[in-house]
């Protein structure tokens, strides 16, 4: 298995020419330069919250030292540039067509060679629609690794903020789920519709209300999103308690 660190080094180094060839990409900019690559699949609704990218990247840049792109890359599992993608995002509400055997093998390689997938069931219907098909696909792609609730001491809950509850457009779970291989979690899964809480329209207004917790719940969604992104970029964040006072001060940001 290729380490996440090596995957990021090569992926972020070459993403400019291969993925954003029509844009300026500064190698002198602060490392790492983050961008979303959203997975387009067949059937269902692959793009339930198209206005989510700019708000979360703006907050990422404002609160951290990470430099990000406010545009997303739309990709497929057969895209030859898939292995240069540092952060693969997948979302949906409804059932989608099962992946082909070739697509499953490509995603398996991506995840075991250092790739990262953040997936969201934006409907939040446990056992139905997107949730049912996604869980089935993960069992086939990584049959030896279980998609399960991440423990409270997982690094994703403390990669930037100390998180003890999960926000989102809706409050389905107070935790994230994931698939862990060795000490790295290449798949993180949410049913709270984080991107629905981040999304704004072209006038800069929130598209969705967050229920039942309102703006506090939205703030929690942004913190969770930043933690997931930072986790994907750092991977081997230490759990040592010496970090806790520093992180605790960030909770008020």
Q: In the predicted model, what is the mean pLDDT of the chain?
A: 86
Q: How far is CA 152 from the centre of its chain?
A: 18
CB atoms within 10 A of CB 14: 13
Domain boundaries, position 10: 4-252
- Mean pLDDT for the stretch of residues 204-218: 97
Residue with tokens 């979303």: 36
What pTM was estimated for this model as a whole? 0.85
Contacts of 108 (CB under 8 A, 6+ apart): 141, 142
DSSP 74-93: EE-TT-TTGGG-S-EEEEES
Helices (DSSP H) in 26-150: which residue ranges? 53-63, 101-112, 129-141
Residue 210 φ then ψ, to 5° = -105, 120
> What share of the chain has pLDDT > 90, as a percent?
77
CA 100 vs CA 33, 42, 58: distances in Å:
32, 11, 36
Nearest to 214 by CA among 163, 157, 170: 170
Query: Which band of pLDDT confidence, cut at 50, 70 and 90, is reported for residue 37?
Result: very high
- Residue 177 predicted with pLDDT over 60: yes
Nearest to 106 by CA among 137, 136, 129: 137
CATH label of the domain that carries residue 230: 3.40.50.12140
Looking at residue 33, its pLDDT comes to 77
d(CA 136, CA 244): 37
What is the count of structural domains for the chain?
A: 1
């Amino acid at each position: 298995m290729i380490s996440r660190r090596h995957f990021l080094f090569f992926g972020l180094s070459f993403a400019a020419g291969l993925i954003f060839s029509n844009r300026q990409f500064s190698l002198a900019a602060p490392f790492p330069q983050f961008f979303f690559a959203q997975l387009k699949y067949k059937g269902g609704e692959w793009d339930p919250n198209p206005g989510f990218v700019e708000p979360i990247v703006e907050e990422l840049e404002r609160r951290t030292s990470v430099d990000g792109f406010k545009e997303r890359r739309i990709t497929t599992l057969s895209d030859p540039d898939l292995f240069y993608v540092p952060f693969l995002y997948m979302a949906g509400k409804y059932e989608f067509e099962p992946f082909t055997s070739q697509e499953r093998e490509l995603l398996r390689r991506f995840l075991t060679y250092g790739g990262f997938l953040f997936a969201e069931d934006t409907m939040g219907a446990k056992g139905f629609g997107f949730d049912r098909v996604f869980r089935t696909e993960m069992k086939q792609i990584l049959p030896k690794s279980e998609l399960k609730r991440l423990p409270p001491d997982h690094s994703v809950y403390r990669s930037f903020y100390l998180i003890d509850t999960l926000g989102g457009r809706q409050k389905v779970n107070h935790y994230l789920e994931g698939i862990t291989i060795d000490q790295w979690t290449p798949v993180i899964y949410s049913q709270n519709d984080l991107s629905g809480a981040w999304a704004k329209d072209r006038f800069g207004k929130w598209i969705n209300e967050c229920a039942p917790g309102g703006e506090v719940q939205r703030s929690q969604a942004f913190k969770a999103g930043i933690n997931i992104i930072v986790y994907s970029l750092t991977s081997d964040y230490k759990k040592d308690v010496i970090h806790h006072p520093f992180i605790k001060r960030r909770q008020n940001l």
